[in-house]
Amino acid sequence: MLKDTIINALTSRFGHEVMIAPTSKEFAVFTAKHPEVGDVVIDEDGDELIVSVGNITHGHFGSYESGLSEVEHQAAIAYDLIAFLDDLFADRVLLFTATWGGGWTLIEDVEERKLHSPRRRWFKWSGPIDFNAVSN
């Protein structure tokens, strides 16, 4: 079962930093480091996970490679999830809200012009960022 694999991976990597509720659809929660960012909540949705970061954005984690066993699919999802969370908690992920929705990107992948867009509000796990107030 995917949820069991993910719970084992999360508790192995993050220990008591993650709150686990195995009988709940929202089975794993990381408490927000900053209230404007919000909690990370992990839901099981069939063969994939939905990871929400506060009210900013959410993403789907699944394994779509053909030819893998169920165990291999679950391991791939766990690996991708742990890698994302490691990057998020290390402030290597930029989260954003925009007039049309929200999303996330790794810092090194974002275009400079988007950082200064008046249509986007930026965050890291540690809190909001105002790139227009940051001097180079």
Q: What is the pLDDT of residue 136?
A: 46
Tens digit of pLDDT for each residue in 62-99? 999 999 999 999 999 999 999 999 999 999 999 999 88
Residues of the chain with pLDDT under 70: 133-136
The answer on 74 and 7 residing in a single domain is: yes
**Same domain membership, residue 103 and residue 46:** no
Note if the pTM is more than 0.75: yes
Q: Are residues 30 and 59 in the same domain?
A: yes
What is the chain's Cα-based Rg? 16
> Domain check: are 68 and 112 in the same one?
no
Q: Is residue 31 part of a domain?
A: yes
Q: What is the DSSP code string of 12-30?
A: HHHGGGEEE-TTSSEEEEE
Report the alpha-carbon distance of residue 54 to residue 31 in Å, rounded. 10
Domain that holds residue 122: 93-129
pLDDT of residue 113: 80
Q: What percent of the chain has pLDDT over 70?
A: 97
Averaged pLDDT of the chain:
93
Q: Supply the pLDDT for residue 100.
A: 83
In contact, 122 and 129? CB cutoff 8 Å: yes
Strand order through the sheet with 101-106? 101-106, 93-98, 120-124, 127-129
Q: Does 99 lie in the same domain as 68?
A: no
pLDDT at 131: 78
Spatial separation of the C-alpha atoms in residues 81 and 106, rounded to whole Å: 14
Domain count, the chain: 2
